[in-house]
Amino acid sequence: MAYLFTSESVSEGHPDKIADQISDALIDNFLAFDADSKVACETLVTTGQVVLAGEVKSKTYLDVQQIARDVIKKIGYTKSEYMFEANSCGVLSAIHEQSQDINQGVDRLTKEEQGAGDQGMMFGYATNETEDYMPLALNLSHKLLQELAALRREDKEITYLRPDAKSQVTLEYDDDNKPVKIKTIVISTQHDDFADEPTMLAKIKQDILDILIPRILEKNPQYAYLFNDEIEYHINPTGKFVIGGPHGDAGLTGRKIIVDTYGGKGAHGGGAFSGKDPSKVDRSAAYATRHIAKNLVAAGVADEILVQVSYAIGVAKPMGIYINTYGTKKVDLKDGEIAKKVEEIFDMRPYFIEQRLKLRNPIYSETAAYGHMGRKPETVTKTFTSPNGEQKTLEVELFTWEKLDYVEKVKEAFGL
């Protein structure tokens, strides 16, 4: 039976995403100057105020207030009328040293036996319905907001946009679980004040339809078949959206975990990613299970795969690995047998995940908006400056868990 499925995304200027980006900027700066840093930091943003809290074990000292301001400026909160502005907002730091009771469960005499930084279960998911092996509704939701942010920064075709925005896409699937068309698109974007509200609403809707959507189609022609004249658009459905960002709604690190992952497809263990160094398996094992799922689907093991791994705090070896192929497997093995082979191919002890995916590098700021999964792996050069003026320039690989570097190993193991 045909069905509908919906996913949402939020922009880099959404309050929760501001918090995520500040937390991950702190992670990157700590790792840049001390790769062994242990960090768990949370950020709260509200009207004119940023609060940083959490635990750190590191050899380096950072100007955390300046790092937070730099992130806010980069996002685009640079005007006093936003009631949250990079240079004038207050920044309070309540970061303190990490508990030795937690650290003793992670550090070991040999790095190979490094224990998991917490208990819990993590999930990775992949589907072949898009080129990057991500769910289509989420993929489209992200692209809408990334393009809207590009229009805001260009400040040419649309000149009234402010940083806060949300999107939502509802797809119709056929009886074979294939997406056939877009049913509904919802976009809510913060904007400058207009003298006339009815004119404002009409202008915003027309610009979304005449400027944003054509740019999406131009850059993503593979999705043209999904668009039609029957799509129901809800553009700023509540009306005026001038008050936004942290002034409109407080933001916290880790509140957009479904936006960060698979848009409601697959499953989620409940642990957020941003603000956590890779010894925290909430983050590193979620990346590792995505890496597994993507390589399995790309190798042809199944059309759709969910991978679960679970840990006990302080214990290196996972409690278990679970695989669900949703009845789409292409190999003559049960899902449990596939899981056994996965254990043989991928070492899921925390240290080996960190090494395999190069996670002790400052690679996290780029993950903190528009999803941690389905992104393009690339090598970039990044420069960091410490409070005493020391500069560190590093070449790092971003989104290593998106690489298809295990496809041949998987094919060999499964006889494909």
Q: Which tens digits make up the pLDDT trace of 230-265?
A: 999 999 999 999 999 999 999 999 999 999 999 999
Tokens, residue 204: 């915003």
Sequence ranges of the domains in the chain: 3-10+136-246, 15-105, 120-128+257-272+280-414
How sure is the predictor about 102, in pLDDT bands with cuts at 50, 70 and 90? low
Q: Which parts are annotated binding residues for K(+)?
A: 42
Q: Which member of 152, 247, 276, 356 is catalytic?
A: 276
According to the model, what pLDDT value does residue 220 have?
Answer: 95
**Domain 3-10+136-246 indexed as CATH 3.30.300.10:** yes
Of 273, 281, 268, 267, the closest CA to residue 254 belongs to 273
Give the architecture-level CATH label for domain 15-105. Answer: 2-Layer Sandwich (3.30)
Residue 255 annotated in active site: yes
pLDDT at 355 over 90: yes
Q: Give the residue-averaged pLDDT of 79-99.
A: 92
Q: What is the average pLDDT score of the chain?
A: 95
According to the model, what pLDDT value does residue 402 have?
Answer: 98
The Cα 243–Cα 259 span in angstroms is: 23
Residue 16 annotated in active site: yes
Q: Give the residue-averaged pLDDT of 365-389.
A: 97
Q: Which member of 241, 346, 384, 399 is catalytic?
A: 241
The Cα 2–Cα 23 span in angstroms is: 41
Q: Which parts are annotated binding residues for L-methionine?
A: 55, 98, 249, 280
According to the model, what pLDDT value does residue 337 have?
Answer: 97
Per-residue model confidence as pLDDT tens digits over 392-406: 999 999 999 999 999
CATH node for 120-128+257-272+280-414? 3.30.300.10
Per-residue model confidence as pLDDT tens digits over 286-308: 999 999 999 999 999 999 999 99
Task: Tell me how far CA of residue 8 lies from CA of 68, 183, 412, in angstroms.
Answer: 26, 14, 37
Residue 249 annotated in active site: yes
Q: Which parts are annotated binding residues?
A: 14, 16, 42, 55, 98, 164-166, 240-241, 249, 255-256, 272, 276, 280
Burial of 314 (0-12, 13-18, 19+ CB in 10 A): middle
Residue 241 annotated in active site: yes
Equal CATH topology for 3-10+136-246 and 120-128+257-272+280-414:
yes
